[in-house]
Amino acid sequence: MNKKYSLLAGPLICAALTFILQYYFGFKSALALGTIIWMGMWWITRPVDIAVTALLPIGINAVFNLVPANQIITQYFSEIVVLLVGSDLISLTWTNTGLDKRLAIKTLCFIGTSMKQQITVWLFVSTILSIFLPNVVVAMIMVPIAVSMLHFIGEKIIKTSKIAIPILLAIVWGSGIGGFGSPLGGSANLVAISYLEGICGHEFMYIDWVSRFLPFLILTMLLNLVILLSIKLPVKKLANTKAYFNDMYKQLGPMSKGEKIGLGLFIISTVLAFARPLFAEALPALRPAYIFFICGLLTFMLHDEEGKVLLTWKQAEKELMWGMFFLFAGGLALGKLVTGTGAATKLADVITVMPLTGGIETIFAFTAFSTILTEVSSNTAAASIAIPIIQSISEALGLNVVPYILVTIVAVNCAYILPVSTRAIPIGYGLEPSELFKHGVLLSALNVILTTVVGYFFINYWPAFGQI
């Protein structure tokens, strides 16, 4: 769609839906639902930056007074945004010192020459890194390294390289699915935590997150691997690739003081975040968000081997992922509009007339809905739209909301088809969008089935899964 037309289409469709739906939902609830469509359309067609779209709730609420203003404004620097800022500051020191590249290359030194080994290791490394780093950052680190390796072995034109297809897909798929391996893996996870803590009324410990999602992640990664290994390959081995990575790592030299400090800050933050149950009673205010924020502030005070601070404010001002902060906050603000006006509850009342019982058909409907949203937008946007709706439907059906939100988070972290968000990165390096689509459609469909079946068994046969 032409950007000019999509720019106008968003508010026009919102206005039309508000006019039509107000007779059942009431004006405020109808406008909140219209805002979902407006923001969803702009997140997909992108006539403006996705971060700009995320700011719409402030303006819409200011004009129409849908909910108290403080409920919207406070979302833009909530506790979870503090966590994002802190972790991003630490991640910037990794980029500045080259630690991110060192860790990636060191891991790839263990790669063999077999194409199956290549595909497995690229997928594994991308998945593991994205558990702790933003998926976009992981893809931006890994894709250039893979392309340079392909050039080294003679694959000069990525667009026509059959070898490049499974390797680049392994990176972009792995960097996506790893996101739900820990709360740090993506802002969509933090959207979920915000809702879960509101539901249960207490802090959701990071260790509880990992214990529930690790089985999901292992099964999802295995499914990704099966599809990748099924791609027809022109060769069985890639000569000299192991030597290539060993030489590349040797050129980096010994680990610098700056790299060690950056790694140390991350390890300290992560260990304290996961060990939170041990000191939660003694230090009730020192939640993970503030642990990461404090360690992030230390990056402006600690010095590297040259006597320079690890990070200057000028660098942070330029390189922090401000758009991601606004996107996350905008999703929460949208959720406040939908729940605060009663729109989610009324929408749930409509949906509950469908034959949904909370069984496998309900899990499939939630998973398919969330998957479609994340395929056409970002996972944070998908989570922001899907979670409050699924929460309201689950409550209307008299279900325990928690496990259905957990299954939803798996779905919104698994997108494979369109060159949107992280998936646009390998396209920029030459991967054909048609290859992403061809292999992604099958994987996306199978992943919906896998998530539905595993979610059903966890909900029904693992009582602790839905208890936080």
Q: Collapsing DSSP states into helix, strand and coil, what is residue 114?
A: strand
**For residues 273 and 290, what is the distance between their CA atoms, to the nearest angstrom?**
10
**For residues 407 and 359, what is the distance between their CA atoms, to the nearest angstrom?**
13
**For residues 378 and 413, what is the distance between their CA atoms, to the nearest angstrom?**
9
Percent of the chain residues past pLDDT 90, beyond the cut: 23
**32 residue type, one letter:** A
Residues in the chain: 468
Per-residue pLDDT, averaged over 23-50, amounts to 85
Give, as one character, the DSSP assignment of residue 256: P
State the DSSP H helix or E strand holding residue 47, giving kind and residue range, or none if neither: none
- The string of pLDDT tens digits covering residues 442-463 is 999 999 999 999 999 999 888 8
166 contacts 231 by C-beta, under 8 angstroms: yes
Query: Mean pLDDT: which of 31-35, 113-117, 318-322, 391-395 is highest?
Result: 31-35
Query: Taking every pair of C-alpha atoms in the chain, what is the biggest distance, in angstroms?
Result: 69
pLDDT the model gives residue 229: 92
- The string of pLDDT tens digits covering residues 242-299 is 777 788 888 888 899 999 998 899 889 878 877 887 888 888 888 878 888 999 999 9
**For residues 215 and 75, what is the distance between their CA atoms, to the nearest angstrom?**
32
Nearest to 328 by CA among 381, 365, 290: 381
421 pLDDT more than 70: no
Tokens of 249: 């790592």
**42 residue type, one letter:** W
pLDDT the model gives residue 344: 67
pLDDT band at 348 (very low <50, low <70, confident <90, very high): low
**For residues 99 and 454, what is the distance between their CA atoms, to the nearest angstrom?**
36
73 pLDDT more than 80: yes
pLDDT the model gives residue 139: 78
- The string of pLDDT tens digits covering residues 187-218 is 778 778 888 888 877 777 778 888 888 899 99
436 contacts 169 by C-beta, under 8 angstroms: yes
Nearest to 267 by CA among 122, 84, 94, 85: 94
- Average pLDDT score over the chain: 83
pLDDT the model gives residue 353: 66
Tokens of 317: 């001002």
Tokens of 352: 């509950």
Tokens of 262: 């950056």
pLDDT the model gives residue 434: 82
Give, as one character, the DSSP assignment of residue 255: P
